[in-house]
Structure 1
């Protein structure tokens, strides 16, 4: 499997987890089953951190150094625009590390989750539509 196919597969897995977590953003579920929600968030965090690290440390630098002019420009722009997402997601995941914190403030968890999950969807959609075609 090519590196790009691996990135695309990871995108599909991440989108599935984001969708799954989004369906769980209901106050009654967060109060009744915060551990179940945290488990999905932990799975997402693990896959996402690995994926973002691979992109930020391998894909983007490779394209910036060795790609054609359009790939170099796009990769550099994406790296600058989206590079902070790793830390934002780490902070979010750490803040909601314990199921008890989710249960204690479900409204804040829902609000912050929608915001970060939308940012993830946006990054994936842009990479799929703008960056990955340049690699192919």
Structure 2
């Protein structure tokens, strides 16, 4: 199975997280830029999640390898919660004025939301994708 697109998405997602970190260090004056970056970033994540749900997980769950099936189901199940929390975060902080009005709240929410996304991308890159490529 060719997962190059999924791997490229991971690079874009990790880059998006880093971009948000860099902008956040600039503080309240960057609130509009942060919101714009978050909107762009959330689009990348939405498209990636849709591709996983429509193509990757269903394809893997048809595998003859029960370990792949179990791993796919576990990753899909775990990702649902992370995705839901990220989408709520993105909806809540998609306007610069909201970020500027509660910058500390935004930073706390970003840390609580983006760390699990970052960790998940690393876990998939380290465990899931190599297993898929070895099929």
Gaps of 5+ in 1: none
**Equivalent runs, 1:1-136 vs 2, <5 Å:** 3-26=2-25, 29-66=26-63, 68-136=65-133
Gaps of 5+ in 2: none
**1:13-57 CA distance string (max 9 Å, x none):** 11111111112223xx34212111111111110101100111123
TM-score normalized by structure 1?
0.90
- State how many pairs are aligned: 133
Show structure 1 runs of 4+ deviating over 3 A. Answer: none
**1:76-132 CA distance string (max 9 Å, x none):** 111112212222111111111211110000001001101111111111111111111
TM-score normalized by structure 2?
0.91
Q: Is the 8 A contact 1:30 1:102 kept in 2?
A: no
Shift of 1:3: 3.9
Change (3 A) 1:114 1:36: same
Q: Is the 8 A contact 2:24 2:30 kept in 1?
A: no
Q: Supply the distance in 2 between the matched residues of 1:115 and 1:65 (Cα, whole angstroms).
A: 34
Matched residue of 1:114: which SS? Answer: helix
